[in-house]
Amino acid sequence: MLVLNSSFISRFSKLGAGLQIVRRLSVGKDLDLTGIYPPIPTPFNSDESIAWDKLKDNIKKWNEFPLRGYLVQGSNGEFCYLTEEERIEMIKVVKSLSPDKLVLAGSGCESTAATIRVTNKMAEAGADAAVVVTPCYYKGKMTIAALEDHFTRVADASSLPVILYSVPANTSIDIPVELVRRLARHPNIIGIKDSGGDVSKIGSMVHVTKGENFQILAGSASYLLSALAVGASGGICGLANVLPKEVCELQTLFNEAKMEDAKSLQHRLIAPNAAVTKVHGPPGLKASLEWFGFYGGPCRRPLQPLTESETKNLENAFKENKYL
């Protein structure tokens, strides 16, 4: 009779669990992210409660366009002002309203443990992949080693494939190419949303991750065409909330090699995109939504509504490019 001691059983159990994890995680690399995703805003009522009816109306309208899916709880979703319960419920509602779209869940938190917990709750709510932003409160301590440890532990424990999220304008932290190269080897890290705006970096990431089934998504419509030209798979673009048809059309024109038309369209998207994202942020996005038949509504405080002059500046960016 073969007697197995507890040490052997423990090692065998860990090996078996590890193999199961590897098998589960490897599936994520097959998820094709190609396409355009608006990072949808969270609609609020005047009392700052979530306007679920308005969210449903917006999703119904967005579903009419050839968007690949939605990023829920990205920077434009004001995720940092929402409770964990609200963030999870947003995923559940959006997925129920758009079962044929990919739902990318912004699950990043400041601690690794919280990020893992929220990511797996979002998986249970129906998300297809997690978009994990760099923790940044202790940005002086967010060394390459700290970031690598954070993303690796999240990817190891996540029941969703993980997309890295680099947004230095908000976090003051940019994930360097060399770290992206190493993280791309992880079986459950499938891509990155890069909002830094450095197209040469996007090209470098495409180059060094070749063969890893790793996909780069441009974080803005202002450089979408350039990003596609150096190998990006698509974009998570704030302007796609407001002009979904046009942002999707830009990728279609690129795919069809209609470069003159693509360049012309890209040029017309730059100023509205800058006004909605870089200049005015979520208040600007919400104000512009109202002009195109969507619900924008207020932001949660301390974000403030646009002033009269800011609203005029935003409006001019659309008018000058013949969108209003």
Out of 193, 210, 258, 286, the active site residue is: 193
Q: How far is CA 262 from CA 130, 313, 324, in A?
A: 30, 26, 20
> For residues 167 and 140, is the Cβ–Cβ distance under 8 A?
no
Place of tokens 């599936």: 27
Helix (H) or strand (E) holding 72: strand 69-72
Q: 194: which strand partners?
A: 166, 218
> For residues 148 and 182, is the Cβ–Cβ distance under 8 A?
yes
What does the block give as tokens for 145?
Answer: 């080693």
Helix intervals (H) in 27-51: none
Beta-carbon contacts of residue 87 (< 8 Å; ≥ 6 apart): 73, 79, 106, 107, 118, 122
Residue type for position 235: G
Angle ∠(91,175,198) on CA atoms, nearest 5: 100
193 in catalytic set: yes
What does the block give as tokens for 219?
Answer: 């974080």
ω before 39 within 30° of 0 (cis)? no
For residue 303, give the nearest of 119, 76, 87 by alpha carbon.
76
Beta-carbon contacts of residue 25 (< 8 Å; ≥ 6 apart): 155, 161, 186, 187, 188
Task: Enumerate the active-site residues.
Answer: 193
